[in-house]
């Protein structure tokens, strides 16, 4: 008889659909009481999270040798990572995050059905998982994951009481799996127009939380820096003439073939509480961060150069600052 046991007590791996974090280990121990079993096979089927439509099953996608009455370890998260294209961001506005297929950045667009069996028996043991696109730190790890599990450092209600007035922010919550009746397990999402709190002076940053959801924060101070660099190199002398045949004027020839301009911005928000600083400090390690200079501006994907959120015990809080660099640089050619 085939027996499947999660290595971590409290983690779930059975035929009842359940959540897990995609970037956290989900290792199962597989054994069989039949001493003649020498191989373990796993068929994998991807099922549309919002449709319930199954793709063609990948037969024997996983194959492992097993010693007589021994066992094998399989990390289901690693299998799901191989089959998940979660790292594609096509975002120009907050509505792109919450609308269409933007929820794919929070919860996998596929439910994964694993069917485990052996070379001696085709009777299959089923495991169903719906991964959240994120992971918790070791200190925050709890084996069981359900719809109440935190997917962002601060709730949308908490964020709307900060300095985001006049802006819209993405809001997500996990569905309670046991109550879904229409085969749509995608998260509940909305674009929340913030009308409370203060308005930020220097725009808003939106970033993908490592816990799966999205965070937004208004910034009050900024320093912008524009850079310039040359590309290519041409050998030149002191000067040349504007006329090949004679009678021309001297001019200095360009010794480069083009130029590139760069842009970076440093942003700061003053006097955050300890709870707020702990939350925004998790921006370090985010896979995607966007800058929105005004409420009517498009969201621009930026690179996070640095972020600082030190907690000062004397004032029970501190300042939050980030430095961003533009990815879309402007280039020009020189003839």
Q: Is the pTM of this model over 0.75?
A: yes
Number of domains in the chain: 2
- Stretch 128-135: mean pLDDT: 97
Residues 193, 318, single domain; the answer is: yes
Residue 68: per-residue pLDDT: 66
> What pLDDT, in 10s, does the model give residues 155-205?
999 999 889 999 999 999 999 999 999 999 999 999 999 998 899 999 999
Domain membership of residue 273 (yes or no) is yes
Reported as a single tens digit per residue, the pLDDT across 21-38 is 999 999 999 999 888 899
CA distance 117 to 115: 7
Query: Does residue 235 lie within any of the structural domains?
Result: no
Task: Please check whether residue 194 lies inside any domain of the structure.
Answer: yes
Q: Are residues 221 and 320 in the same domain?
A: yes
Which CATH number is 18's domain given? 2.60.40
Task: Give the end of a domain, one of 116, 140, 164.
Answer: 140
CA 35 vs. chain centroid, Å, equals 44
- Please tell me whether residues 133 and 160 are part of one structural domain: no
Query: Do residues 60 and 84 share a domain?
Result: yes
Going through the chain in order, the beta strands assigned E by DSSP cover 2-6, 18-21, 27-32, 39-48, 58-65, 71-75, 110-118, 125-132, 168-173, 188-193, 204-208, 214-218, 221-231, 240-241, 250-251, 258-273, 289-292, 300-308, 317-326, 330-333
In-domain check, residue 65? yes
In-domain check, residue 96: no
Task: For residue 283, tell me if it sits in a domain.
Answer: yes
Question: What's the mean pLDDT in 228-239?
Answer: 89
């Amino acid at each position: 008889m085939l027996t499947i046991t999660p290595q971590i007590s409290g983690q779930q791996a059975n035929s009842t659909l359940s959540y897990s974090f995609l970037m956290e280990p989900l290792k199962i121990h597989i054994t069989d009481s039949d001493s003649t079993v020498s191989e373990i096979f796993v068929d994998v089927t991807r099922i549309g999270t919002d449709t319930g439509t199954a793709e063609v099953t990948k037969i024997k996608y996983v194959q492992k040798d097993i010693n007589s009455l021994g066992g094998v370890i399989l990390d289901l998260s690693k299998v799901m990572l191989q089959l998940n294209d979660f790292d594609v961001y096509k975002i120009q506005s907050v509505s792109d995050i919450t609308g269409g297929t933007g929820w794919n950045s929070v919860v996998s667009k596929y439910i994964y059905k694993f069917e485990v069996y052996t070379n001696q028996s085709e009777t299959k043991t089923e495991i169903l998982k719906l991964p959240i696109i994120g992971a918790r730190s070791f200190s925050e790890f709890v084996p069981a994951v359900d719809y109440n599990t935190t997917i962002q450092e601060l709730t949308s209600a908490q964020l709307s009481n900060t300095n985001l007035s006049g802006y819209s922010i993405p809001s997500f919550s996990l569905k309670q799996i046991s109550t879904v009746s229409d085969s749509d397990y995608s998260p509940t999402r909305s674009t929340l127009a913030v009308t409370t709190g203060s308005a930020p002076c220097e725009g808003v940053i939106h970033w993908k939380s490592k816990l799966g959801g999205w965070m937004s924060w208004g910034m009050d101070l900024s320093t912008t820096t524009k850079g310039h660099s040359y590309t290519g190199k041409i050998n030149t002398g002191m000067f040349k003439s504007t006329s090949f045949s004679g009678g021309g004027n001297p001019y200095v020839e360009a010794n480069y073939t083009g130029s590139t301009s760069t842009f970076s911005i440093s942003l700061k928000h003053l006097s955050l509480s300890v709870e707020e600083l702990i939350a925004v400090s998790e921006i370090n390690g985010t896979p995607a961060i966007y800058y929105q200079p005004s409420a009517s501006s498009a969201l621009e994907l930026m690179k996070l150069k640095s972020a600082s959120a030190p907690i000062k015990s004397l004032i029970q809080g501190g300042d939050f600052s980030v430095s961003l660099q533009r990815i879309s640089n402007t280039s020009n050619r020189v003839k």
